[in-house]
Amino acid sequence: MEIKKILCPTDFSEAAKKAFEYAVFLASSQHAELVLLHVVDQLHGFDNYEILSLTPQEISERMETHAYENMSDILDQIKGSIAIETAVEHGKSSVQIIEKAREVKADIIVMGSHGRTGLSHVLIGSVAETVVRHASCPVLVVKNVDHRSETP
Ligand code: ATP
Ligand code: MN
């Protein structure tokens, strides 16, 4: 068995950052390639966004641009120490993550247990849970220290 391709989905939260650090370590020690993915969530039934003078399409485009900017900052931080590729997709986060894992033939998905919502009383977030349930490759869920309980 080999780990040659790692998919790391990020919503740019602290928990996702932790998972990314782990993914970088894994990529480096396994000489694997890392794919960093952000999913811009589809805006459902919010055609009234036009009252903000931006159409849903324009909002999505801006979010995509912003995601690539965030990713390029992340890339700058690791300074070419590993082979890394970035991707931004649109749609339902869990579905796009599972789809991307298939597309790039990921050997493992490394993701955070929580994200931007970060409700500490839930064991893991809904995106993480759906990916764990449905991905066709192993999923490594990295907990944020804040969410680690004292005793089992
Ligand atoms: P919920 O979204 O269910 O309210 P949450 O935000 O705390 O809870 P998740 O969204 O499941 O938790 O986040 C867990 C991990 O899933 C994140 O650390 C990140 O790795 C990944 N993730 C979440 N949203 C996205 C996204 N839009 N694009 C890429 N990865 C994501
Ligand atoms: Mn979330």
Closest-CA residue, ligand 1 atom 15, reads 112
Q: Which tens digits make up the pLDDT trace of 13-46? A: 999 999 999 999 999 999 999 999 999 987 655 5
* Dist CA 64 CA 67 (whole Å): 5
pLDDT given at position 59 = 85
Q: Beta strand 33-41 with 84-91: parallel, antiparallel or unpaired? A: parallel
User: N- to C-terminal Cα distance for the chain?
Assistant: 31
**Residue scoring higher pLDDT (47 or 139):** 139
Vertex 126 angle, CA 27 and 88, to 5°: 50
Query: Residues 56-78: what's their mean pLDDT?
Result: 91
Q: Are 46 and 35 in contact (CB under 8 A)?
A: no
pLDDT band at 96 (very low <50, low <70, confident <90, very high): very high
Distance from Cα 103 to the centre of ligand 2, integer Å: 22
Distance from Cα 133 to the centre of ligand 1, integer Å: 14
Domains recognised in the chain with CATH numbers: 5-149 (3.40.50.620)
pLDDT given at position 138 = 98
* Dist CA 56 CA 46 (whole Å): 7
Name the residue type at position 54: L
* Dist CA 41 CA 94 (whole Å): 10
pLDDT given at position 49 = 58
Q: Ligand 1: residues within 6 Å at CB?
A: 9-11, 13, 15-16, 19, 37-39, 41, 93, 111-112, 114-119, 125-128
pLDDT given at position 114 = 94
Percent of the chain with pLDDT over 70: 88
